[in-house]
Amino acid sequence: MENNKELIQHAAEIVKRGGIVAFPTETVYGLGADAFNPLAVARIFEVKRRPSFDPLIVHVANPADVKKLVKEIPSNAKKLIERFWPGPLTVVLLKEEDIPDIVTAGLPTLAIRMPGHPMALSLIKESNSPIAAPSANLFGYLSPTTAEHVREQLGDQVDLILDGGPCPVGVESTIISFLEERPRLLRPGGVSLEEIESIIGKVEVHAIGEERPHAPGMLPRHYAPRTPIVLDWNDKNLDIYKNKKVGLLAFREPRNNLKFSKVEVLSKKGDIREAAANLFAAIRRLDALDLDLILAEPIPEVGLGRAIMDRLRRASTKGEIN
Ligand code: TXA
Ligand code: MG
């Protein structure tokens, strides 16, 4: 613990000096910089190869800090903050003028969350500034849920990687915007829609492909591994894949796995939270095997199942094999 403290202080020094640090959150690992240092934030975009139209989430260590960053906090946003922070919920509100444009990609709005991971909270506190951080992966690839995942992709390009073990939630935060009459779900994530609606009532849900994405980073093809992921398949005609090396991403223990080169089970007992926590690491392991394709078993779209299916759809190629 003592070591952790020193390490976090060291990480905070790096952030204060304008460096970039990868750190654990309860959802996925983030790549952080001082939100008020535009040059440091620019380095995040560069290292991630992230397009500059895609804004970042700013992370705070105290709900009271939100007041300084935004114009106002609508009462429904307040209710969610009280109920779910620290935790996997991001709120989008009208920003204060002094937030650098690079953080919000020039938008008049700001996405904010208070993460639940103790290392993330200590890092933000010690840095004395909110931390702007996207997930610590290359743009378009799966988010990292271990320090090792970060090392593999970004290794020597970041100033420090804080290792806090595997992320317990495993999918990114839920994003809700409060810019319209009704709150709107921009990204399903670690807090379920059911939990949110139980506090503030009906939320608008933006379905993929319906219209222009509201969260600029929510492109239809995102979180994509190298190996094609196929969601739309049927176990009665697996023969069509018989000359291919096929991996199965199973929700629970499959009845028979003879036909697959490799099976990854997300949750033996069929627990959706456990499946979310294992999702990205399981896809990465399959992606490392040089398979021709990965068949993914659908997950019930309730609770975190909605976030899991959203990520699988974005990672999938709708059955094209090439
Ligand atoms: O769980 C998480 O949210 C993780 C951890 C590290 O906190 N962060 C994360 O960040 O997933 P990132 O950058 O990978 O995804 C943030 C998403 C992007 O789709 C971005 O377009 C959207 O949030 N976003 C950021 N600011 C926004 C804004 N002002 N309005 C709408 N969407 C916004
Ligand atoms: Mg990301």
Q: Specify the residue with its C-alpha closest to ligand 1, atom 17.
A: 217
The count of other CB atoms within 10 Å of the CB of residue 255 is 7
Taking the CA of residue 30 as reference, the ligand 1 atom at the shortest distance is 6
Ligand 2 center to 99 CA (angstroms): 21
Taking the CA of residue 54 as reference, the ligand 1 atom at the shortest distance is 21
Q: Specify the residue with its C-alpha closest to ligand 1, atom 19.
A: 217
Q: Which residues share a beta bridge with 176?
A: 91, 185
Q: Which residue has the tokens 């929700």?
A: 251
Which ligand sits closest to the CA of 206?
Answer: 1
Ligand 1 center to 98 CA (angstroms): 19
User: What does each of the 322 residues of the chain score in pLDDT, given as a tens digit?
Assistant: 556 899 999 999 999 999 999 999 999 999 999 999 999 999 999 999 999 889 999 999 999 999 999 999 999 999 999 999 999 999 999 999 999 999 999 999 999 999 999 999 999 999 999 999 999 999 989 999 999 999 999 999 999 999 999 999 999 999 999 999 899 999 999 999 999 999 999 999 965 455 555 666 666 666 678 899 999 888 888 888 888 999 999 999 887 766 899 999 999 999 999 999 999 999 999 999 999 999 999 999 999 999 999 999 988 865 444 3
Mutation probe of ligand 1 site: the residue of 23, 175, 184, 214 with most atoms within 8 A of C-beta: 175
Mutation probe of ligand 1 site: the residue of 90, 112, 113, 150 with most atoms within 8 A of C-beta: 90
Q: For residue 59, give the H/E element and its range.
A: strand 57-59
Nearest Cα neighbor of 189 from 176, 205, 173 is: 173
Cα dihedral across residues 153, 157, 158, 159: positive or negative: positive
Ligand 1 center to 90 CA (angstroms): 8
Cβ contact 272:299 at 8 Å: yes
